[in-house]
Amino acid sequence: MDDILSQGGDREPSRWPRRLTLIGAPILVAVASIVYLSVGRHPHTPPAPVATYAAAEPEGIGGPDRPWAGSLRLPVAGAQPAWFSPATGGSAPIGGLPADSAGYHFTRAGGGWVVQASSAGVTGCGDCTMPSLPVWFLADGARSATRVGTANQVTPAATNGAVWLISYPPAADPDTATRTAREVSLAGVPLGPPVRLPTGYVIYQATDRGLLLAPVRQRPGTPAYKLWNPADPQVSRTFDGVIAASPAEIAWTSPCPVKCRVEMLDLATGGHAVVELPAGSFPAGAAFSPSGHFLALQVTSDEGGGPSTRLEVAAAASGRLTAVPGTSVGSDTVVDFGWPTVADSLVAEFIFPATVQVASWQPGATRLAVAVIRPGQDLASLVVG
């Protein structure tokens, strides 16, 4: 999710809105007894979740088959953010982030996370009228976050150690607002002059070949995304249906009357690969791995006995698909995923009507590590990428 699984940074826009939309009334009723990070009852110190390696509860995925990495920590983006360890079920508070009843938005960046209050920081959003709020950086496993600056929106830079801070006038019309972006170091030091973004666009992803821009409002008949270099304002390329991007790669899809195709472009080499999805399937989300060698896909279909969703990983060089074992679930399951470490380790959260699970998988592995999350955390607060 903009998020438990940065895009990833990604990073794609936060999946929180998608996740919260998919958690319909039946699921909310079913999980009412599961007390996650109860903000109202525990405003300062969230209770520790309990991860268990017993067999999955009914409607859950199977496991556990292999242990979790003891060093892995996932942020919990509640009113008072914390680190959560799937290996032990323990949690520890994150310093430097004041308590905020709205919670926080985490975006995966090189070696850590860019953090803002959840009412800000989302790119590719509807009206994008976000207030100007503080921006922090949280290094992987660090005890505290460090202040970077203030912005209406923030996007990780193409290189580690920097972010793009985006600002615009208060109460501006989203369609006509003059958005100004500036790249700064994690210490808040400007790395270049301010850049005025094209009207009606926000930064979706900073890349090695310029800024990939997304429209504030998508209009029929016009390309949704443009790769734009501030030093040379002429658009180098446009894309429809971008589903994932990293500093070095872009993945997109086009309308698919029979079969869906996901196309991937290597910005450095110009290499192009195509992922062919089975008939009746379409990509509901995607995220590139840190190395850029893999693209994780949530594939949804309505074939073979009813709607379902599953996780697959495509090789970026060839487009060859590999199913993530044990992750085929019903369409009523909320799935979020990403690559929340510097290694190519995919982490996914599954919210079933009766249980919540987190799973980890590395390309080439035949088994998952699975933890069942028991009372102690907010459904929308665990960040996986």
Quote the distance between the C-alpha of residue 275 and its chain's center: 21
Asked if 1 and 339 touch (Cβ cutoff 8 Å), the reply is: no
* Residue at 207 is within a domain: yes
Asked if 155 and 243 touch (Cβ cutoff 8 Å), the reply is: no
What pLDDT score does 191 carry? 96
* Residue at 379 is within a domain: no
* Residue at 193 is within a domain: yes
Mean pLDDT by 10 residues, the chain (385 residues): 32 35 33 28 32 45 72 90 88 92 90 85 49 93 96 93 90 78 96 93 94 84 82 83 96 86 95 92 95 96 78 96 93 91 93 88 90 62 88
User: How far is residue 60's CA from residue 329's CA, in Å, rounded to a whole number?
Assistant: 8
What pLDDT score does 124 carry? 44
Stated pTM of the model: 0.81
| Number of domains within the chain | 1
What pLDDT score does 363 carry? 93
What pLDDT score does 120 carry? 52
User: How far is residue 145's CA from residue 167's CA, in Å, rounded to a whole number?
Assistant: 22
What pLDDT score does 242 carry? 95
* Residue at 384 is within a domain: no
* Residue at 194 is within a domain: yes
What pLDDT score does 320 carry? 96
353: helix, coil or strand? coil
What pLDDT score does 59 carry? 66
265: helix, coil or strand? strand
What pLDDT score does 56 carry? 38
* Residue at 385 is within a domain: no
User: Which two three-digit tokens encode residue 256?
Assistant: 């698919």
Per the structure, the complete domain to which residue 306 belongs is given by 16-374
CATH number of the domain bearing residue 77: 2.130.10
What pLDDT score does 300 carry? 93
Q: CB neighbours of 92 closer than 8 A, spacing ≥ 6?
A: 82, 83, 143
Neighbours of 173 (CB within 10 A): 12
* Residue at 168 is within a domain: yes
